[in-house]
């Protein structure tokens, strides 16, 4: 009894490994070594083994992202708030490639929990959209659009999937402006 581990420290180490060495190195072997412990010890904290650990890593990532997003949205409104949220999302993906990967990746098996995990982020979007003149349906469409775009764009960018040398910042900005334009069109088209 030396290491003094707990679920949080283990998950944080897993996130670190994912970011620094790539998601393929998030194994019980590597993780245990980094934590100065033997692989079987990790079962004392994660009964379900690697599977459970990966699931928790996924949830941790979404909560982390939610906190970032919430933070930047404070004190901002409307387009300003949305832009801030979107940039925070993209920055998060860039700064935590491995973790972001894990968030995408491990959703497939646990769609129930994935739903809950992303609920926080969705709420922030809805809250900001409340100050626009939109009905509920429209808001749902818009949030889905942002989520789809942000996840896809960040994912492709993060893997170097956009070949053209043209600025990715510009493309991201262009896309956000386009979506925001779409939102304005749904209203009187005036207030921003």
Give residues with Cβ within 8 angstroms of 182, minimum separation 6.
none
Q: For its own copies, which stretch binds (CB under 8 A), given 13-21, 33-41, 66-74, 146-154?
A: 146-154
* Burial class of residue 99, CB neighbours in 10 A (0-12, 13-18, 19+): buried
Within residues 162-191, the interface with DNA by CB under 7 A covers none
The answer to the question of residue 139 lying near DNA (CB under 7 A) is: no
* Conformational region of residue 122, where left means phi above 0, alpha means psi within -120 to 50, and beta covers everything else: alpha
Q: Out of 8, 12, 22, 49, name the contact with DNA by CB under 7 A.
A: 49
The answer to the question of residue 155 lying near its own copies (CB under 8 A) is: yes
The answer to the question of residue 130 lying near its own copies (CB under 8 A) is: no
Q: How many residues does the chain have?
A: 192
The answer to the question of residue 135 lying near its own copies (CB under 8 A) is: no
Q: Out of 108, 130, 135, 188, name the contact with its own copies by CB under 8 A.
A: 108
The answer to the question of residue 22 lying near its own copies (CB under 8 A) is: yes
The answer to the question of residue 156 lying near its own copies (CB under 8 A) is: yes
Closest by CA position to 98, among listed 8, 179, 158, 51: 158
Cβ 148 to its own copies shortest distance, Å: 3
How far CA 129 is from CA of 10, 61, 79, 191, in Å, comes to 37, 24, 9, 13
Spatial distance between the Cα atoms of 77 and 6, rounded to a whole number of angstroms: 39
CB atoms within 10 A of CB 178: 10
Cβ 81 to its own copies shortest distance, Å: 19
Q: Out of 9, 91, 119, 187, name the contact with its own copies by CB under 8 A.
A: 119
The answer to the question of residue 3 lying near DNA (CB under 7 A) is: yes
Residues within the interface to DNA (CB under 7 A) = 1-6, 27-29, 32, 36-41, 43-45, 49-51
């Amino acid at each position: 009894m030396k290491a003094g581990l707990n679920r949080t420290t283990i998950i944080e180490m897993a996130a670190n490994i994912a970011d620094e060495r790539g998601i393929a190195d998030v194994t019980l072997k590597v993780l245990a070594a980094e934590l100065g412990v033997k692989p079987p010890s990790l079962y004392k904290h994660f009964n379900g083994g690697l599977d459970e650990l990966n699931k928790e890593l996924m949830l941790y990532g979404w909560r982390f992202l939610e906190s970032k997003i919430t933070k930047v949205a404070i004190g901002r409104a409307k387009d300003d708030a949305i832009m801030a949220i979107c940039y925070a999302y993209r920055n998060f993906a860039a700064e935590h490639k491995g973790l972001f990967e894990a968030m995408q990746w491990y959703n497939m098996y646990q769609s129930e929990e994935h739903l809950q995990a992303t609920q926080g982020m969705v709420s922030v979007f809805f809250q900001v959209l409340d100050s626009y003149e939109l009905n509920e349906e429209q808001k749902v469409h818009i949030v889905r659009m942002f989520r789809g775009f942000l996840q896809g764009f960040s994912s492709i960018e993060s893997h170097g999937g956009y070949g053209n040398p043209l600025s990715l910042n510009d493309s991201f900005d262009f896309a956000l402006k386009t979506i925001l334009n779409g939102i304005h069109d749904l209203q009187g088209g005036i207030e921003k």
